[in-house]
Structure 1
Amino acid sequence: METNYTEAERYYQAQKRVKEIKDFYAHLTVYLLCNPIVIAVNLMTSPGYLYFWFSLLGWGVAIVLHGLKAFDCFPFLNKEWEQRKIEEILEKDNNKQLWK
């Protein structure tokens, strides 16, 4: 199914992508600013138990996933999958209306 976008729709989609990328950079900035604080607090309060790794790794995985989504590099749940799912839902809805 070929989709024809108007100029306004294309602009909206581009604007939406820019916001996703901007949100990713904000998330990355917060990660880079907060984790040194977590590391410093950990080293000052309990240097024998290094718990900052949990923050670095857990939050780091979230950053990577956010980046993959923002830059449209997700190996699954991408735009093609979304389009197929939308068509599947519309088809099911059409079938329900036919049987009513």
Structure 2
Amino acid sequence: MLGPAGVSGAVSNNVESYQRDKLQAAGLAGFQCVIGSDSAGAPKPHSAPFLAGCAALKSLPAHTLYIGDNPINDYQGAMDAGLQSVLLDRASFHKNFPGWRVKALGSLRTVLS
């Protein structure tokens, strides 16, 4: 998730400690916050993890962008929590969902540049 002034966080359905270790191992430890289903009290698509991430980033949901690759847990969950949302659809798996506002991205660089 991206908040104002480029602050970033990760929201996961994994437990927070596991996700922190996973991000560290992948060389992606630079997030200002990491929210797990355990620390949020509920898994995605519930609004709790998204709102916990916004609180940790000190960002209003409407001013926060969430990028995820699952149409229900990520995209719709973030939208329902009041965040702006982009579905990362690298392989165009979800382009035929009727009614979904799906944005196909080849890379996160497209959003960040």
Q: Where is the helix percentage greater, Structure 1 or Structure 2?
A: 1
Q: Where is the strand percentage greater, Structure 1 or Structure 2?
A: 2
Q: TM-score range by the shorter chain?
A: under 0.3
TM superposition score normalised by structure 2: 0.18
Quick one: higher RCO (CA 8 Å, sep 6+), 1 or 2? Answer: 1
Structure of higher CA gyration radius:
1
